[in-house]
Amino acid sequence: MTNKTISVYASWDINTRVFHWVNVVCIFMLSILGLIMLNKGSIGISGAEASIGLKTIHTIIGYVFAINLIVRIIWGFVGGPRARFSTLLPGKGYRQEVKNYTASIKAGEPRTFIGHNPKGRLSVLVMFLLFTVMMVTGMVRTGTDIYYPPFGGFAAKYVAAEGVSFKDIKPYDNTGTDAEKMDRLKTFKKPYGTIHIYTAYILWVLVLIHIIAVIRSDAGGQGTLISAMFSGRKHLPREPHDL
């Protein structure tokens, strides 16, 4: 029989909630800019200046995304139990947990959780991995494309021809560069761009699945998941399995 009593539990701490919403805004803006960069030809944007401008804005938002992510990763090791990566890792008995959870949904009385449900845990972990790949590949690309930190100084020093200061190396301009080294840099940076774009595609699919899953679980009687990411308090209709 369904127990309709609603209890309120402290779920996500303030750091986790701030990370989540800053991350949402950054990914939204980075994706829009990324899509513009990908389709600039068909929307009538051309020229080196426009490309540099788009990459610069994308990079500046990328820095906010990266700082937010790094703080969250640190918090994942030192923060409270619901923020820790150790609680996300699928340990012993994980398969059974997923089976029980799925069976409870089918039976019409879904198990509830103060933190993530077993499937959510894995998807969050995968998303963190993808965020990290986006951050690292993005940093390499911004360093090698437009000579922005943290790697831009190294890239500019590498391609500068003998007797030319790295400070005089400009993006989209071969003046003062060593042609052979420029070619080598091109070969080096190519796979980072490929990984960046394909990871973005995977991330977009996962984000979509994440949004659908959260809405379904909220509407399907598994607690107030969405409002908890604002308030830090989750209302649950049954005793949680991760007390």
- Does 138 bind ligand HEM (CB under 6 A)? Our answer is yes
Q: Which of 9, 16, 19, 30 binds ligand HEM (CB under 6 A)?
A: 30
Residue closer to ligand HEM by CB (options 34, 118) is 34
Q: Cα separation of 230 and 102, whole Å?
A: 27
Longest dimension (CA), the chain: 81
Binding residues for ligand HEM restricted to 146-205, rule: CB under 6 A? 193, 196-197, 200, 203
Binding residues for ligand HEM restricted to 57-116, rule: CB under 6 A? 58-59, 62-63, 65-66
Q: Cα separation of 229 and 98, whole Å?
A: 23
- Does 134 bind ligand HEM (CB under 6 A)? Our answer is yes
- Does 133 bind ligand HEM (CB under 6 A)? Our answer is no
- Binding residues vs ligand HEM (CB under 6 A): 27, 30-31, 34, 37-38, 55, 58-59, 62-63, 65-66, 134-135, 138-139, 141-142, 145, 193, 196-197, 200, 203
